[in-house]
């Protein structure tokens, strides 16, 4: 079975970024010793939470799309990566490559699915 290499690349990059951003937030929160700094860090993490949720969902859909050659999941992951970039513009460059690769993988899946279907017939 042929799979999309661009979806795989987006899934790997997205997974690495999702793990990094979650680790960064927990590490930043655990390092605070003063109450005011902890409150400020908590507010910053609260503002980042929608971005983190969208990226995590995008990674899940990305892996589903790659493993099952499912176009709807690849499209959902591309959209969620784009939404996460819009939600938190400061971190948009970190999901730009994944967004592009997810949409490229979505476009490639039509041909890949046709080839896989013709090979199974």
Q: Which residues 6+ apart lie within 8 Å of 81 measured at CB?
A: 10, 14, 54, 55, 58, 95, 98, 99, 102
What is the predicted pLDDT for the residue at 31? 87
Evaluate if residue 24 carries a pLDDT over 80: yes
120 falls in which pLDDT band (50, 70, 90)? confident
Evaluate if residue 56 carries a pLDDT over 80: yes
Average pLDDT, the chain: 94
Q: Is 101 left (phi over 0), alpha (psi -120 to 50) or beta?
A: alpha
- 111: buried, middle or exposed (CB in 10 Å: 19+, 13-18, 0-12)? exposed
Evaluate if residue 121 carries a pLDDT over 80: no
Domain ranges of the chain: 5-120
Residue 30 vs residue 106, higher pLDDT: 106
């Amino acid at each position: 079975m042929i799979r999309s290499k661009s979806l795989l690349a987006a899934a790997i990059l997205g997974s690495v970024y999702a793990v990094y951003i979650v680790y960064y937030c927990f590490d930043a929160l655990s390092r605070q010793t003063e109450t005011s700094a902890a409150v400020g860090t908590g507010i910053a993490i609260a503002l980042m939470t929608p971005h983190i949720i969208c990226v995590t969902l995008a990674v899940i859909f990305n892996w589903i799309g790659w493993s099952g050659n499912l176009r709807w999941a690849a499209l959902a992951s591309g959209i969620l990566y784009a939404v996460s970039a819009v939600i938190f513009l400061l971190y948009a460059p970190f999901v730009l490559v994944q967004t592009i690769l997810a949409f490229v993988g979505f476009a490639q899946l039509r041909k890949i699915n046709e080839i896989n279907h013709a090979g199974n017939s």
